[in-house]
A and B are shown apart, each in its own frame.
Chain A
Amino acid sequence: MSKMLEIENLKARIAGNEILTGLNLVVSTGEVHAIMGPNGSGKSTLAQVIAGHADYDVTEGSVKFDGNDLLELEPEERAREGIFLGFQYPVEIPGVNNAYLLKAAVNAKRKHVGMDEIDAFEFLKLAREKMALLDMDQSFLNRGVNEGFSGGEKKRNEILQMAMLEPKLAILDETDSGLDIDALKAVANGVNALRHADRAIVLVTHYQRLLDYIEPDFVHVLSKGQIVRSGDKSLALELEEKGYEWVREVANA
Chain B
Amino acid sequence: MTTQVIDKSLLDAAVKAMPDDRLAGLRREAADRFVSLGFPGTDHEDWKYTNLSDIEALSVAWLKGNPNLQPVSSVTDITDEVRSAIDAHWLLVRDGVADDMLPDIDGIEIERLVDADCSALSADDALSAFNVALLQDGLRIRVEPDAAPDRPLAILNIDSARQRVVQSRLVVELAAGARLELIECALSNGSGSQFTNSVVDVDLENAACLTHTRVQDRHPDHSGIYRLQASLARDANIRHSSFDFGGALSRNDVVTDIKGTGAAVGLNGLYLAGGEQHIDNHTSIIHGVGPATSDEEYRGILTGRAQCVFNGKVIVAEGADGTNSRQSNHNLLLSDRAEIDTKPELEIYADDVKCAHGATVGQLDHAALFYLQSRGLDRDQAKQILTRAFAAGMLSSLSVPACEDFVSARLDRRLAELVDDVDD
- Cross-interface CB contact of A87 among B365, B371, B379, B393, cutoff 8 Å: B371
B367 within 8 A of A: yes
Residue B374, interface by CB 8 Å: yes
> Using a CB-CB cutoff of 8 Å, which residues 341-368 of chain B contact chain A?
365, 367-368
Residue of A nearest to B394 (CB): A95
A112 (CB) vs chain B CBs: closest residue: B376
Residues on A close to B: CB < 8 A? 51-54, 74-76, 78-80, 84-85, 87, 90-91, 93-96, 100-101, 104-105, 108-109, 112, 144, 161, 165
CA distance A78 to B373 in the complex (A): 9
B378 sits at the interface (CB 8 A) = yes
Contact B389 A105 (CB under 8 A): no
Closest to B382 in A: A76
Residues of B contacting A100 in the complex (Cβ-Cβ under 8 angstroms): 385
Q: Is B44 among interface residues, defined by CB-CB distance under 8 A?
A: no
Report A-chain residues with C-beta under 8 Å of the C-beta of B388: 95-96
Give the chain A neighbours of B368 by CB distance below 8 A.
Answer: 91, 93
Contact between chains at A75 and B373 (CB < 8 Å)? yes
A104 x B385 contact (CB < 8 A) = yes
Shortest Cβ gap from B395 to chain A (Å): 9
* Contact among B367, B379, B386 with A96 in the assembled complex (CB-CB below 8 Å): B386
Contact of B379 among A74, A79, A101 (CB under 8 A): A74
Bound together, the chains give a CA A85 to CA B382 distance in angstroms of 17
Residue contact B377 to A76, C-beta cutoff 8 Å: yes
Contacts of A85 in B (CB 8 A): 374
9 closest Cβ contacts across the A-B interface?
A: A95-B389, A108-B376, A79-B376, A105-B375, A75-B373, A91-B371, A95-B392, A76-B373, A96-B389
Alpha-carbon separation in the docked complex, A14 to B149 (Å)? 62
Please indicate the chain A residues that have their CB under 8 angstroms from the CB of B372 in the complex.
Answer: 93, 101
Chain B residues, CB < 8 A from A75: 370, 373-374
B contact residues around A104 at 8 Å (CB): 375-377, 381, 385
A75 to B370, CA, bound (A): 8
- In the assembled complex, B390 has its CB within 8 A of some CB on chain A: yes
Decide if A79 touches B389 in the complex (CB within 8 Å): no
Q: Nearest residue in A to B365 (C-beta to C-beta)? A: A91
Asked if residues B375 and A108 are in contact (CB atoms below 8 Å), the reply is yes
Minimum Cβ distance to chain A for residue B115 (Å): 47
Can you list 28 residue pairs at the A/B interface with Cβ under 8 Å?
Answer: A52-B374, A53-B370, A54-B370, A74-B373, A74-B378, A76-B373, A76-B375, A79-B375, A79-B376, A85-B374, A87-B374, A90-B371, A91-B365, A91-B367, A93-B371, A95-B388, A95-B390, A95-B393, A96-B388, A96-B389, A100-B385, A101-B372, A104-B375, A105-B375, A108-B377, A112-B376, A161-B375, A165-B375
**B186 to nearest A CB, angstroms?**
26
Question: In the complex, what distance in Å separates the CA atom of A51 from the CA atom of B365?
Answer: 18
Closest CB-CB distance, A154 to chain B, in whole Å?
11
A67 to chain B, nearest CB (A): 21
User: Shortest beta-carbon distance, B374 to chain A, in Å?
Assistant: 5
Known: A76-B379, A108-B376, A108-B381. 4 other contacts (CB 8 A): A76-B373, A76-B374, A76-B375, A108-B377
Report A-chain residues with C-beta under 8 Å of the C-beta of B386: 93, 96
**Residues in B neighbouring A165, C-beta threshold 8 A:** 375-376
Q: Which of A53, A75, A101, A108 has the most CB of B within 10 A?
A: A75
Nearest chain-B residue to A93 (Cβ)? B368
A53 to B: closest C-beta gap in Å: 6
Residues of B within 8 A of A51 (CB): 374
Give the residues in chain B near A91, CB-CB below 8 Å.
365, 367-368, 371
| Bound Cα distance from A100 to B389, whole angstroms | 11
Q: Smallest CB–CB gap between B35 and chain A, Å?
A: 49
Residue of B at shortest CB range from A80? B376
Query: Complex: how many Å from CA A32 to CA B403?
Result: 53
Q: A91-B365, A94-B393 are in contact. Are A105 and B371 (CB under 8 A)?
A: no
List, in ascending order, chain B residues with CB within 8 A of A79's CB.
373-376
Contact B376 A109 (CB under 8 A): yes
Q: Which residue of A is nearest B378, CB measured?
A: A76
Complex Cα gap A108–B376 (Å)? 6
Rounded to whole angstroms, the CA-CA distance of A145 and B365 in the bound complex is: 14
Alpha-carbon distance between A101 and B381 when the two chains are bound, in angstroms: 11
Closest to A161 in B: B375
Compute how far the CA of A79 lies from the CA of B375 in the bound complex, rounded to whole angstroms: 6
Could you say which residues of chain A place their CB within 8 Å of the CB of B371?
87, 90-91, 93
